[in-house]
Chains A and B, each alone.
Chain A
C-alpha cells in the first residue's frame, strides 16, 4: 500500500533559526496537504498543493510540491515559539478516498 515518510522525526531549533521538514511518498500523488498539530490539540489544515512543482507561501511558511509529485517540503523561516507543534503531510492518490498521513515532524523552538 501507499506509504508516506517524513523526516526528521524531531527537530529542536533556537528561535530565529529556519526549519524544514520533508515528505516522501512511495507513489505519485494527486495532491498533498499539510497539517499542524499543537501539543495536546488536533491536526489543523494548513495548505493543499496540487500542481507539479507548485510553491505556495503563507507568511514565514513555504510549501513545495516536487516535480514528480512524490515529495514535498515545508520550510519555516525564522521560527517563533508559536511554531511549536507537529507538522504532518498527507498524500492523496487520484481515484481513492483516503489520505495517507506521514509520520510527522515534531518541532520544538527554544528561546
Chain B
C-alpha cells in the first residue's frame, strides 16, 4: 500500500496563476481532507469530504476549490494564487472524520 500520496512535492507559482494539488489514497478511506500548515498556526482545515460526491468547507476555504469524483482522489484547486497561500499543504485520509488521520508527505507551495 502506498498510503496517501501527494504531487507535486514542491511548487512555485506567480500571483494569479492557478494550479491543482493532487492527493490519492489506496486505503479505501471515505474521509479525506486538506490542511495548510503555517508557522505558529498549526494545521488548519481547508476542505474535507466524507465520501465521493460530497465535500464541505473547513476553517479556511477561501481561494480553494475541491471535488471528489472517486473514493481514491481528492484534488485541491487554487483558482488564482496569492502570496498569502504560500504554505505547506497536507492531504489526509481516514475511515471517518474523528478517526486516526493518515497524512501525505505534503506539498510545499510558494507564491511570488
Could you list which residues of chain A lie within 8 angstroms of chain B, going by C-beta atoms?
1, 6, 9, 30-31, 33, 35, 41-45, 48, 88, 90, 92, 94, 96-104
Contact = CB atoms under 8 A, between A and B. Distances in A.
16 contacts: A6-B42, A30-B98, A31-B98, A33-B100, A43-B90, A45-B101, A90-B43, A92-B97, A96-B97, A97-B98, A98-B97, A99-B101, A100-B45, A100-B59, A101-B42, A102-B42
B74 interface: no
B48 A98 contact: yes
Contact of A42 (B48, B59, B106): B106
B45 A43 contact: no
A13 to B, nearest CB: 20
Interface of B: 31, 33, 35, 40-45, 48, 50, 56, 58-59, 90, 96-98, 100-106
Contacts of A42: 90, 103-106
Contacts of A103: 40-42
Nearest to B31: A97
